[in-house]
Structure 1
Amino acid sequence: MSDPKNRSVTRALRIVDALSKRDGVGVSELAEAVALPVSTVHDYLQALRSTGHVVKEGSDYRISTRFLEIGHRGRRRREIYTAAAEELPAAAEETGEQATLIVEEGGDGVLLAVAEGEGAVDLPAYPGARVPLYANAGGKAILAHVDSERLETLLDEQAFEPITKRTVTDPDVLREQLGDVRERGHAVDRGERIAGFVCVAVPVLDRGDTVRGAICVCGPESRMGEERREAILSTIRRVANITQVNMDYV
């Protein structure tokens, strides 16, 4: 039998997660979504309201901005975030596209920071968004530079679901791609997560050659030809290098 305290925390987090996906919801609808009795969900909501993590508007509940505060504090404590804070917007401005800083956490890729260039298309990307490591350039740049044991653990955790027609769903094919990424020093995603978009990424390594994350730029396929990709790669290599220096020596 599971520990009641653990079960209670798990339930609370399930409720918070369900709330975060809805723009205000009543108790009954929320209870149905998390498969718990209405009375149980009501009790959890009152406890979460008392700590300021949930707010009530009329008969609907929603998560509060307290989570934004928590996430921001946690992000600022990530060394790679502060090291890249000034450089990522510069990459977006120089390329005109969307630039992201991605890290691995719990087997997922997490967008730690997002910057928009003047010509950037509005993509579903925001700080904290989780993306599959196997289906985007940033994730592949990270996977290509972890040690072999960690790589196999991470591959075992991937769902390998076909997000688009171009998504790689075969672990062996991905392993071959990662070998190419290591050799070239950068990764390319041609519509594997978002159809019609090409992304390029380079890893951020520390002075011990441990991968800490990746810098990625995405743009419409129509303007991400080989020549422009090379220009963008030159930019993000510089950004990754400055980020590494900031982490190691500043």
Structure 2
Amino acid sequence: MNIQRDSADGTVGKALDVLDRVAAFGRPVRFSELLEDAPFPKATLYRLLQTLAKQGMLAYDDDRGTYAPGMRLVRMAHAAWAQSSLAPIARPHLDELSRAVGETVHLAQLDGGQVLYVDKRNAVRPLPMFSEAGKVGPAYCTGVGKAMLAHLDEAACDKALARQSWHRFTPHTVTTPEAMRAELETIRAQGHAYDREEHEPGIHCIAMPVLSATGRMLGAVSVTSSVERGPLAELERHLPKLKQAVEHIAGDLHDWRFPDQREG
């Protein structure tokens, strides 16, 4: 499990860290499992879990002795999704793109330098792959991640690159900031990014950023397939439809802003 939140910000920071850890398991989790890699003492973890359960942020199952996200947290997550996610606005355009290309379509945003998948449409013939709505993945070796990194300003890009793990997932993975910077220049010039089996063997994609009228990067959309279905060049025939989709999403976002990203 890769939790990269700063848990040093007092009690609130520790509580958020615990919520992250419970959610990251993707299933009800026991106290002993959370304790294995918790960054604070047993008594502190127990106290935080009890408080979060009392507040409805976690649900505790007495019979199984497990913790899971509580209904209060679920309600907050739905509200955040509706107010701060591109997904509700992008939905009809993702549906249209999915019907047009017949391949897997992803919508993503950046979260702390990493890729947060906020929506997905499966291909006519679905492919098993890592990405699912709500999952967090690396930015440096995914099409949507690179499309977004390429359109950050220099300071934000430097900060995001400093947060990458540079783990070699496949023989095709770029593993240095220097090589990535060179690729990002190419992406800016051509307007789209590729994942050339860099995150998962046999999976490749094309991706484009969603940009505001002033060029602010808001997210990215990708069309994904497998090498078994055809070479990457075959995916390129979908570039006009992908470009149309991101432009339509950007158009619908004209009067919409993230709460902390209002443009002057």
- Give percent identity, aligned residues only: 26
Tell me, what secondary structure is at the counterpart of 1:82? helix
Distance 1:24 1:204 in 2: 35
Distance 1:80 1:139 in 2: 15
Q: Which has the higher helix share?
A: 1
Give 1:11's match in structure 2, choosing from 14, 34, 42. 14
Distance 1:230 1:32 in 2: 46
Q: Cα distance 1:69–1:217, how it changes in 2: closer, same or farther (>3 A)?
A: farther
Find the counterpart in structure 1 of residue 30 from structure 2: 26
Q: CA offset at residue 207 of structure 1?
A: 0.8
Distance 1:133 1:233 in 2: 21
For the pair 1:56 / 2:60, whether they are aligned, the reply is yes
Find the counterpart in structure 1 of residue 244 from structure 2: 238
Q: For residues 181-208 of structure 1, what are the alpha-carbon distances to aligned partners after superposition, in whole Å with 9 as ceiling and x for unaligned?
A: 1121111111111111011101111111
Distance 2:67 2:85 in 1: 35
Between the two proteins, the alignment pairs up a number of residues equal to 246
The alignment's TM-score, normalised by the length of structure 2, stands at: 0.84
Distance 2:39 2:84 in 1: 35
Tell me, what secondary structure is at the counterpart of 2:140? helix
In the alignment, structure 1 segments of 5+ residues that lack a partner are none
C-alpha RMSD of the superposition:
2.2
Tell me, what secondary structure is at the counterpart of 1:236? helix
Tell me, what secondary structure is at the counterpart of 2:37? helix
In the alignment, structure 2 segments of 5+ residues that lack a partner are 1-7, 257-264
| 4+ long deviations beyond 6 Å | none
Q: CA offset at residue 128 of structure 1?
A: 2.4
Contact 1:16 1:63 in 2 (8 A): yes
Give 1:84's match in structure 2, choosing from 67, 86, 90. 90
Give the 5 Å matches for 1:143-158.
143-158=149-164
Give the 5 Å matches for 1:188-199.
188-199=194-205
Give the 5 Å matches for 1:173-184.
173-184=179-190
Moved more, 207-216 or 218-227: 218-227
Tell me, what secondary structure is at the counterpart of 2:50? helix
Find the counterpart in structure 2 of residue 138 from structure 1: 144
Amino acid at match of 1:9: V
For the pair 1:71 / 2:82, whether they are aligned, the reply is no
Q: Cα distance 1:220–1:36, how it changes in 2: closer, same or farther (>3 A)?
A: same
Find the counterpart in structure 2 of residue 162 from structure 1: 168
Contact 1:146 1:211 in 2 (8 A): yes
Distance 2:88 2:191 in 1: 23
Distance 1:171 1:32 in 2: 32
Q: Which has the higher contact order (CA 8 A, sep 6+)?
A: 1
Distance 2:98 2:41 in 1: 48
Contact 1:93 1:116 in 2 (8 A): no
